Structure formats: structure tokens, C-alpha cells
Amino acid sequence: MKTMRSAEITPVRRPGFLRPGTPRWVRNVVQFARECWKTRTSYLFLLPFLVCFAIFIAIPVFLAAALSLTSFNGIGFPRFIGLNNFVNLFTQDFVFMMHTLPNTLQFAAIVGPGGYVLSFIFAWLIHQLPRSLRDFFTLALYAPSMAVGVGLSVVWVATFSGDRAGYLNNLLMRYGFIETPVLWLQDPRYLMWILIIVSLWTSMGVGFLAMLGGLQTVNPELYEAGKIDGIKNRLQEVWYITIPSMKPQMLFSAVMSIVGTLKAGDISSLLTGMTVTPNYAGHLISNHIEDYAFLRYEWGYASALSVFLLLLGYGLMRLSYVLFRTKEDE
């Protein structure tokens, strides 16, 4: 009688077969590599994007994270100091804790949600217009975001100029509201609010166009079905039908609003002509980075500030994802 012990049976291992007990992440990496190899021809079309992504995004982020752990003045060799830059950021940087961080949070809390809501409101209003008028009003609202530098120089600097020729001073003096010109862009009491107004004016950018495009994708039959189900006014239509139907566009617009808000420090520099605003009244994190990077040449500390700003933006974007993700993303 022939018997065969199970111990004597050895499985035939196929090429590339992973041994039992291999960590899951290794299996995932191997499986991903196999899928990439199967569709390797398709990835050639992605190669230009991947190269640009690596050069302009991935590598700079990696270098910033590495430099944030060093003391580097741009001339000598970077000296590793660990997390000292981050410790000093929250314990010794008086300007950051007393002015930069509060200003950034105040600016982001108003401009971010404010610009986001205004983008949706104006996109919804334009969507209600006849098709012959939509393009005109869309261009009129989108144009300021395309010419920020020119618009600030021609419109807002002239409006808030501190002499009698300034539009606002001239108007207020003509009607007797003030007797002498006000230095709007040098007075700490007004500078932050001027930055907020100008930023809201330029907030109708790509996010606004995304919302306008999302409104055009909503199925009109949903509104008819909503009326049958008891929806009585336009506000209920927006809340129960429009917003849920365009969550991907809302998410994209939220991300663009966050990015635009966090990098808006150049507006204060363009308005005042200075990197460091008077009494740090309009000093945001991006201005603080520019101050340490290009005026003090403390590139290690500036990199730590950049990493902090990156993590802050990532956290806000994750929050937006939680608020506007669809059922397919869960």
C-alpha cells in the first residue's frame, strides 16, 4: 500500500510567489508594482506629469522638511539641530506667537469661509441668469483673480492711498467725514481689514468656476421630484438638492479656497510695499517665511515655518474632505 506523508509534499513555488507571513505592506507594494508593469505603456503618458510633480512639488517638500531640522544660512553647510527650530517656533518666537499666528487664524477664519460662501452665492446667482448673460458676469467676477498684481496697483493702492489724491480719502473729505487724510495702509487699525476686503475681492478664482460648472451638472429632474416630495422654496432646493449633488465641486473649491487663503501674504507686501507690515498688523505666516528666508537668511528656520504651514493646510484640507466627501469615497 502506498502512503504519502503530508510533510513530504512540498508546494511548487511559482516565480514571484511571496512566502507565507510576508507583511501586508510588502504584498501591497509587490501587487502595485505588478499592476504598473502590466500597464507600463500607459504610464508613459503620465511620465511628463510625474517628472514635473517630482521636480516642482515632491523634491522641494522633501528638501524643506530636511532643512527644517538644520541651521542653515544659505552659505555654509547645513548643521543638524533636530527639532530645535520647531521648539523655538512655539517658545521663543514672540512675533510668531503674538502677531503672525493670530493674524493668520483671523485672516483664514474670515477670508476662507467668506470667499467660499461668496463664490457659491455668485455662482448660483449667475446660474439663474439667461445663457446669453452668464459668460459676461462670469468673466467680470473671475477677472480680478487673474490680475491680482495689476489690480492691487491700479485699484486698491490708489483707493487707500494716504494722501488727498487717494480715492477713499478724497471721498470722505469731500463729504466732511474726515478733515485730514488717513494713512490707511500704514495704520495697524485698518490694515488687516483692508487685506480681508482685497482678498475677498480676489477670491473668485478657480473654485468659483468649479462651483459654476457643478451647478450645470445638477439634473433638473431632481428639482421636479423635490417639489413632489414637499420642497417649497429655492432655499430648500439649494440645501437638499443642489449642494448634495455637487459635493465633488464643493470639495475642490474648498481646497482651492484653503490654498489661496494660506498663500495670501503677498497681498500685504503689494499693498504696503514692505515685507514686514507696520507693527506686524498684516503679518501672516507667508510673510514670516519671506522675512526669515530672504531678509535674515535663516533658511533652516524658514523651512520649519514652511513645514508648519504645509501641515496646517493639510489638516484643513482633510477637514474639507470629511465635510464634502461623497458616499463613493467612504
Q: How many CB atoms lie within 10 A of CB 5?
A: 6
Does residue 8 sit in helix, strand or coil?
A: helix
Question: How many CB atoms are located within 10 Å of the residue 13 CB?
Answer: 9
Segment 112-136 mean pLDDT: 90
Residue pair 312/329 in contact by the 8 Å Cβ criterion: no
- Got the DSSP string for 53-114? HIIIIIHHHHHHHHHTTEE--SSS--EE-TTHHHHHHHHT-HHIIIIIHHHHHHHHHHHHHH
* Residue 193 banded pLDDT, cuts 50, 70, 90: very high
CA distance 72 to 309: 19
Domain boundaries along the sequence of the chain: 20-80, 94-329
Q: What is the pLDDT of residue 150?
A: 66
Which of 35-49, 54-68, 80-94, 163-177 bottoms out in mean pLDDT, i.e. has the lowest? 35-49
pLDDT at 70: 94
pLDDT band (50, 70, 90) for residue 308: very high
Residue that the C-alpha cell 522675512 belongs to:
291
Range from 32-46, 50-64, 114-128 carrying the lowest mean pLDDT: 32-46
What is the average pLDDT across 108-114?
Answer: 90
Say what the pLDDT of residue 7 is: 46
Domain 94-329: give its CATH code: 1.10.3720.10
CA proximity to 145, closest of 211, 104, 206, 213: 206
Note the pLDDT of residue 278: 84
pLDDT, greater one: 4 or 52:
52
Position 14 scores a pLDDT of 46
224, 212, 129, 218 alpha-carbon torsion, rounded to 10°: -10
Look at residue 2 in the predicted model and tell me its pLDDT. 47
pLDDT at residue 12, as a whole number = 44
Q: Is residue 13 pLDDT above 50, yes or no? A: no
Do residues 286 and 264 lie in contact, with contact meaning Cβ atoms separated by under 8 Å? yes
What pLDDT, on a 0 to 100 scale, did the predictor assign at position 22? 74
> pTM value?
0.80
In the predicted structure, residue 192 carries a pLDDT above the cut 60: yes
What does the pLDDT look like over 52-84, one tens digit per residue? Answer: 999 999 999 999 999 999 999 888 899 999 999
CA distances from 120 to 130, 221, 240 (A): 18, 21, 15
Tell me the per-residue pLDDT of 258-297, one tens digit each, with 9 for 90 and over. Answer: 888 887 777 888 888 887 888 898 899 999 999 999 889 9
Sign of the CA dihedral running 261, 262, 263, 265:
positive
Range of lowest pLDDT (152-161, 167-176, 192-201)? 152-161
Please give the share of the chain, as a percent, with pLDDT higher than 90. Answer: 32
H-run or E-run covering 247: helix 247-262
Secondary structure class of 330 (helix, strand, coil): coil
User: Percentage of residues in the chain with pLDDT exceeding 70?
Assistant: 90
pLDDT greater than 70 at residue 10: no
Is residue 309 within 8 A of residue 96, CB to CB? The reply is no
Of 23-32, 92-101, 178-187, 283-292, minimum mean pLDDT range? 23-32
* Residues 281 and 102: beta-carbon distance below 8 Å: no
> What mean pLDDT, rounded, does the chain reach?
85
Please give the Cα distance from 236 to 299 (Å, whole number). Answer: 52
Q: Is pLDDT at 234 greater than 60 in this prediction?
A: yes
CB-CB contact of 50 with 42 (8 Å): no
More confident residue, 9 or 236: 236
What would the mean pLDDT of 211-227 be, rounded to a whole number? 88
pLDDT of 6 above 50: no
